C-alpha cells in the first residue's frame, strides 16, 4: 500500500493539515471534463503545443526513486524545450491527502501518481475524476510495451465495479516485490542459516532469539507495514488463487477459513514471542529500517524499494530472498507495480501529460531507473546489476513474476480495506484481538463490499 509511505524533506506545505479533505467520490467532487481522446485524436506533436508548464505530483521521494525521476525530467525537458516540469514531490500519505482535495476542485496537476487500490484509483474512477488513458495507450503503443499482467493492475470498468479489466487509468514505471532481507554476518553470528522452507524460517526465529538477536524488525506505527509481513506469511497457508480473490475484492473467498486463521495465528505468535521486537506498533517504519541498517535485528520482511538504501549502509552484508514456496508449492508473495501515473480528468495539459507518462515509462527510462538503483517493471532481469542486493532483488522479482505468483497488495480489496486491515493487524500484534476475531473483522469488510459489487 501501498503500502509505501516515505518521508520527504520537500513535502508540500500544509499536507498534514488536509485530514478533512473531501473523500474520493464525494458529492463535492468535480467530474466535468472533456472526453478522453481516441487514438486517432491524440496530439503527439508536443513541440507544437507552445510553451507549457506541466505540473507533476509524485511520491518518488527516496534516494533511488528521486534520482531516477530527476534525471528523467531533465532529459524530458531537453527533448521538449517548450515544456517546463513543475514537480511537487511529497510522501505517499501526504500525496493521498492532497489528491483527495485537488481532484474535488479545479486546480489539479497535469500528472498525478494514484495508488491503484479500490480506495484510491477505484473511487476516483467512479467519481469521474481521472482520464481514461485507453486512447493514449493505443496511440503510444503501451499495450505492446507492457504485458497485460501489468496493465490489469491499472484497469477498472468505468463504474469501478470490476477491477483488473476495463479501461486503463494509469501507467506504472517500476516493479515491487516483498521478500526477506537478512544480514549475513548477524545470521552467521547467531548460528543460523538461510531458510529454504517456511518451517525452517519459522524455526529460525526461535534460534535467533535464543542467540540474543531480534529475529525480525518491524515498524508498524503507521499500520500498513504489517501487511507486508503478513502477505508473504499468508501464502504459506493459503492458496494463491484465494489470496488473489481476497485482495482484488472479487467474491468467492473467505477470510475466516482455517488457513487464513492459521496465518493470523502465526503472526500473533510472532508478536507475543517477541520475534518482532518489544513494541512494533510503536515504531515508525522509516526508523525501523534505518535501525536495521545500523545493526538492529537479523531479518527484515519488506519491499524491494528498501534495497538501495539498505545497501548504502550495510554494503555486501545485506541480502534479499523471495519467501520460501507457499501452499501451492510455488513461491508466492505480495508485490506488483509501483504507484502508477495518471492524468486527472480536469488536467489543463493532457496531451503533454500523456507524452510525459510515455517518456518516463519508455525502454530508455527503464534503463535509467535501473542505473539509479530502481527496479523497472519491464525486462527486469536484463537490467539486474552484476552483484549486490539489488541483483538478488531483480532476480527474485523475475522468479516470482514468471515461475511463481506475484500476489496483489491486500489493501487493493475494498475502498475501506486499508484502514480495516491496518487497524486489525495492529490490534492483533498488540494482543487486543484474537486471530479468529481478526479474521471476522477482515471478512466483514470484504463480504460487505463483494455483496454490493
SS3 221: coil
Which 3 state secondary structure label does DSSP give 182?
strand
Interatomic CA distance for residues 45 and 197, integer angstroms = 54
> Which of 223, 218, 221, 2 has its CA nearest to residue 95?
2
pLDDT confidence of residue 34:
56
Question: What's the maximum distance between 2 C-alpha atoms anywhere in the chain?
Answer: 68
176-336+405-452 CATH choice from 2.60.120.10, 3.10.580.10, 3.40.190.10, 1.10.1200.10: 3.40.190.10
* pLDDT tens per residue across span 358-376: 999 999 999 999 888 788 9
Nearest to 123 by CA among 104, 109, 108, 149: 104
Grid coordinates standing for 203? 524455526
**Cα separations in angstroms, 361 against 151, 241, 355:** 13, 29, 10
How would you classify the pairing of strands 52-58 and 341-342? unpaired
Domain pair 34-174+339-394 / 176-336+405-452, same fold = yes
Cα 226 from Cα 99, distance rounded (Å): 25
pLDDT for 125 beyond 90: yes
Strand, helix or coil for residue 240: helix
- On average, the pLDDT of the chain sits at 89
**Residue 2: what pLDDT?**
43
Q: What three-state secondary structure class fits 19?
A: coil
Which CATH topology does 34-174+339-394 take? D-Maltodextrin-Binding Protein; domain 2 (3.40.190)
CB atoms within 10 A of CB 191: 12
- The pLDDT of residue 30: 41
pLDDT in tens, 218-239: 999 999 999 999 999 999 999 9
Q: Are 249 and 413 in contact (CB under 8 A)?
A: yes
Query: What are the residue ranges spanned by the domains of the chain?
Result: 34-174+339-394, 176-336+405-452
Cell 511463481 -> residue = 404
**Element holding 342 (H helix, E strand):** strand 341-342
At 5 the pLDDT is 38
pTM: 0.79
H or E segment and range at residue 196? none
Q: Is the pLDDT of residue 157 over 80?
A: yes
63-79 and 350-360 helices, crossing angle to 10°: 120
| In the predicted structure, residue 95 carries a pLDDT above the cut 70 | yes
**Residues 59-67: what's their mean pLDDT?**
82
Report the pLDDT value the prediction gives residue 392, as an integer from 0 to 100. Answer: 96
* All cell numbers assigned to 271: 508478536
Strands 83-89 and 52-58: parallel
* Distance in angstroms (rounded) separating the CA atoms of residues 216 and 199: 16
Averaged pLDDT, 323-334: 96
Give the Cα separation of 208 and 31 in Å (integer): 55
Give Cβ neighbours of residue 191 (< 8 Å, ≥ 6 apart).
207, 211
DSSP strand pairing (111-113 vs 155-156): unpaired
Question: 335 forms bridges with which residues in the sheet?
Answer: 177
pLDDT at 428: 98
Decide which of 9 and 69 is more confident: 69
Amino acid at each position: 500500500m501501498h503500502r509505501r509511505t516515505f518521508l520527504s524533506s520537500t513535502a508540500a506545505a500544509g499536507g498534514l493539515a488536509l485530514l478533512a479533505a473531501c473523500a474520493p467520490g464525494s458529492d463535492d467532487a468535480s467530474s466535468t471534463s472533456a472526453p478522453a481522446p481516441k487514438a486517432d485524436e491524440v496530439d503527439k506533436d508536443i513541440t507544437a503545443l507552445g510553451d507549457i508548464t506541466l505540473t507533476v505530483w509524485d511520491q518518488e521521494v527516496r534516494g533511488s526513486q528521486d534520482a531516477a525521476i530527476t534525471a528523467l525530467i531533465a532529459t524530458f525537458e531537453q527533448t521538449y524545450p517548450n515544456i517546463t516540469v513543475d514537480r511537487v514531490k511529497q510522501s505517499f500519505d501526504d500525496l493521498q491527502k492532497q489528491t483527495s482535495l485537488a481532484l474535488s476542485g479545479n486546480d489539479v496537476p497535469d500528472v498525478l501518481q494514484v495508488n491503484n487500490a479500490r480506495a484510491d484509483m477505484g473511487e476516483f474512477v467512479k467519481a469521474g475524476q481521472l482520464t481514461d488513458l485507453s486512447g493514449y495507450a493505443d496511440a503510444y503503443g503501451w499495450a505492446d510495451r507492457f504485458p497485460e499482467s501489468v496493465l490489469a493492475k491499472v484497469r477498472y470498468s468505468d463504474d469501478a465495479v470490476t477491477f483488473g479489466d476495463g479501461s486503463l487509468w494509469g501507467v506504472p514505471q517500476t516493479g515491487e516485490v516483498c521478500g526477506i532481507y537478512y544480514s549475513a554476518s548477524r545470521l552467521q553470528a547467531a548460528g543460523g542459516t538461510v531458510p529454504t522452507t517456511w518451517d525452517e524460517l519459522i524455526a529460525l526465529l526461535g534460534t535467533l532469539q535464543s542467540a540474543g538477536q531480534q529475529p525480525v524488525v518491524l515498524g508498524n506505527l503507521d499500520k500498513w507495514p504489517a501487511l507486508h509481513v503478513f502477505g508473504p506469511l499468508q501464502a504459506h497457508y493459503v492458496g494463491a488463487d484465494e489470496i488473489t480473490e481476497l485482495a482484488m475484492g472479487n467474491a468467492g473467498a473467505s477470510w475466516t477459513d482455517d488457513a487464513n486463521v492459521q496465518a493470523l495465528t502465526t503472526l500473533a505468535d510472532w508478536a507475543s514471542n517477541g520475534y518482532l521486537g518489544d513494541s512494533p506498533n510503536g515504531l515508525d517504519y522509516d526508523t525501523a529500517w534505518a535501525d536495521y541498517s545500523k545493526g538492529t535485528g537479523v531479518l527484515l520482511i519488506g519491499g524491494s524499494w528498501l534495497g538501495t538504501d539498505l545497501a548504502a549502509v550495510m554494503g555486501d552484508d545485506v541480502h534479499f530472498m523471495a519467501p520460501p514456496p507457499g501452499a501451492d508449492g510455488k513461491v508466492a508473495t505480495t508485490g506488483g507495480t509501483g504507484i502508477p501515473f495518471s492524468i486527472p480528468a480536469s488536467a489543463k495539459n493532457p496531451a503533454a501529460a500523456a507524452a510525459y507518462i510515455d517518456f518516463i515509462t519508455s525502454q530508455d527510462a527503464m534503463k535509467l531507473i535501473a542505473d539509479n538503483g530502481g527496479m523497472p517493471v519491464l525486462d527486469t532481469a536484463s537490467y539486474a546489476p552484476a552483484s549486490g542486493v539489488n541483483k538478488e532483488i531483480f532476480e527474485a522479482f523475475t522468479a516470482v513474476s514468471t515461475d511463481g505468483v506475484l500476489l496483489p497488495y491486500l489493501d487493493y480489496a475494498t475502498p475501506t480495506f486499508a484502514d480495516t486491515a491496518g487497524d486489525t493487524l495492529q490490534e492483533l500484534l498488540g494482543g487486543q484481538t484474537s486471530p479468529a476475531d481478526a479474521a471476522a473483522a477482515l471478512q466483514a469488510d470484504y463480504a460487505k463490499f463483494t455483496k454490493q459489487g
